Structure 1
Amino acid sequence: MTDVLALPLPLIEAAALRERLAAGAPTVVIDTSFDLADPAAGERSYREGHLPGAHYLHLDRDLADHAPAADGRFRGRHPLPTREAFAATLSRLGIGAASPIVVCDRQGGMFAARAWWMLRWLGHREVAVLDGGVPAWLAGGGALDAAMPTPSAAAPYVLGAALTPTLDAAALQAALGRVRLIDARAAERFRGDVEPLDPVAGHIPGALNRPFKDNLDAQGRFLAPEALRAAFAPLLAGRPPAEVVHQCGSGVTACHNLLAMEAAGLGGSALYPGSWSEWCADPARPVARG
């Protein structure tokens, strides 16, 4: 018999989540649906219908802080809030450090992975991503609900030690050639053939390309762990995950590759949150193409 009290990590199937909710197992569901081309679309779709009881976190408002650095430096298109600020956001929703959390979206985990990574960055261990997201929930017969959840009273979120490392642009530049840098953007953006979002086309010298969408099957669900391990093996080239750094355009889809490696049993890599958008904003930093 399935132990519904044990939250599968880092991915949970829709059937397992339905069983968990039906059994009344403590579970906080967070919807992070978003559309980069229409920043209001994700919240609009959430309000029209979401998993029962799900809260909503907005990429721009809740999962990023667009204020410049104290020295005025541009921190990228989706810079991280402080750990304290994100903890306060969770507290307002009634979420505590011990709450079992399931994160979902409608975009194959593109934004759910960012929330999953940020929660682990706070030290949160009991957090999983719904594999296949809202579409998988519906495909399995799950219903949506338009009722807005009422946050429960909770003590302030207590930060723990970060479970996932980060490094800034200066540290990454100093480490180039000594770390395996993996870029999650589409191949044409990585090569510099096109650049629809940032002012400079190309990639960080030495980076390898692993488009995040390659982590998914035709149904938008993550590939099996053994398939993910096989896909990442040539990128790691025998190096341990601790010597791997992930980046993308703005630190969002890089988290998808981090989640895929975690699902493959290859956890422990770092994130460069500023990613290409921060890197290319400084003309003194090197750029590669091709």
Structure 2
Amino acid sequence: MSFATLISAEQLRALPGPVVLLDCSFDLGDGSAGERAFTAGHLPGAQYAHLDRDLSGAKAPGQGRHPLPDRTAFAARAGAWGVRPGVQVVAYDAQGGPYASRLWWLLRWLGHDAVAVLDGGLAAWQAAGGTLEAGTATPAGGPAYPASDAPAMPSIDTGALLAALGRVRVLDARAGERFRGEVEPLDPVAGHIPGATLRCFKDNLLPDGRFKPAAQLRAEFDRYATPPEQVVHQCGSGVTACHNLLAMTHAGLAGARLYPGSWSAWCSDPARPVARG
């Protein structure tokens, strides 16, 4: 049995066979904080996946703060972690799952189905009696992952999204104050894409940090009354949007698209429309 969306701490502890554990903990305000936390304590056998170095590509004008990595380069990185077809991968973080969700999406993008996010993250593991180990980790090593010929997860670029406005449902995963344009701590322009609907990624979670039940998530996303194929997920830079994509997929609503550049790419051109409020 493999897991393709979420896995509980109890299920992870009971898993037989090889498992690739990847700690994706990160802090957008301090790019080394996640790695320091990993060194202080992580799931036994886990390796560290850094948002900027491992889960993003080189920055280029108009591509946003965390562009997708080159697929060939990411396939090599996945292989170095020990990811093989059919091998279960479990990603986690200590921030509610946004960075682990980014890794989940990227591996699915390569064509790897057996990847899940640890529901509740590091805290849930400890609450279930799981232990931690300290220190750094050396990648397992191995050949590049044999990625599918074409990306296995759909995405949309800025030009195509601009042309599609009014015909797609854009869901914005940022906090409400950023969506409304009241504050903007990371990007040069405040506001949101015209017509977008706020769906903060934290709305997918219960108070204890675990995801809401699949039926509840489905009811909440069904309120948008849009087929998944007509939904575009975005956030500040294409990271927390993956949390909403994971939630929809877990709820049985697969097929929505990611806008990788998100607000950081959209607002890079002053000619593009901006909404506030």
Asked if TM exceeds 0.5, the reply is yes
Counterpart in the other structure of 2:233:
246
Percentage of matched positions with identical amino acids: 60
| 1:61 paired to 2:53 | yes
Describe the SS at the equivalent of 1:111: helix
User: Structure 1 residue 240: deviation in Å?
Assistant: 1.0
User: Structure 1 residue 155: deviation in Å?
Assistant: 2.7
User: Structure 1 residue 149: deviation in Å?
Assistant: 4.1
Counterpart in the other structure of 1:166:
155
1:172 partner letter = L
Structure 2: how far apart are the matches of 1:284 and 1:264?
A: 37
**Mean Cα displacement is larger for which, 96-105 or 115-124?**
96-105
| 1:146 paired to 2:134 | yes
Structure 1: how far apart are the matches of 2:58 and 2:106?
A: 16
Describe the SS at the equivalent of 1:28: strand
Specify which of 21, 31, 36 is matched with residue 44 of structure 1: 36
Structure 1: how far apart are the matches of 2:139 and 2:223?
A: 45
Kept in 1, the 8 Å contact 2:23–2:38? The answer is yes
| 1:196 paired to 2:185 | yes
Kept in 2, the 8 Å contact 1:103–1:112? The answer is yes
Change (3 A) 1:264 1:10: same
Structure 1 residues 47-86: Cα deviation after superposition (integer angstroms, max 9, x where no partner): 1111111011000111112331xxxx33101111111111
Structure 1: how far apart are the matches of 2:4 and 2:67?
A: 26
Structure 1: how far apart are the matches of 2:47 and 2:205?
A: 25
Kept in 1, the 8 Å contact 2:91–2:104? The answer is yes
Kept in 1, the 8 Å contact 2:59–2:65? The answer is no
Counterpart in the other structure of 1:17:
12
Counterpart in the other structure of 2:113:
125
User: Structure 1 residue 195: deviation in Å?
Assistant: 1.1
Specify which of 84, 93, 104 is matched with residue 81 of structure 2: 93
Counterpart in the other structure of 1:269:
256
Kept in 2, the 8 Å contact 1:31–1:103? The answer is yes
The alignment covers a number of residue pairs equal to: 276
Give the alignment's TM-score, normalised by structure 2. 0.96
Structure 1: how far apart are the matches of 2:137 and 2:83?
A: 12
The root-mean-square deviation of aligned C-alpha atoms, in Å, is 1.2
| 1:185 paired to 2:174 | yes
Structure 2: how far apart are the matches of 1:155 and 1:43?
A: 25
User: Structure 1 residue 150: deviation in Å?
Assistant: 4.3
Kept in 2, the 8 Å contact 1:179–1:245? The answer is yes
Kept in 2, the 8 Å contact 1:250–1:276? The answer is yes
Structure 2: how far apart are the matches of 1:89 and 1:129?
A: 18
Counterpart in the other structure of 1:115:
103
Alignment of 1:206-245 (within 5 A): 206-235=195-224, 237=225, 239-245=226-232
Structure 2: how far apart are the matches of 1:153 and 1:104?
A: 20
Kept in 2, the 8 Å contact 1:53–1:148? The answer is no
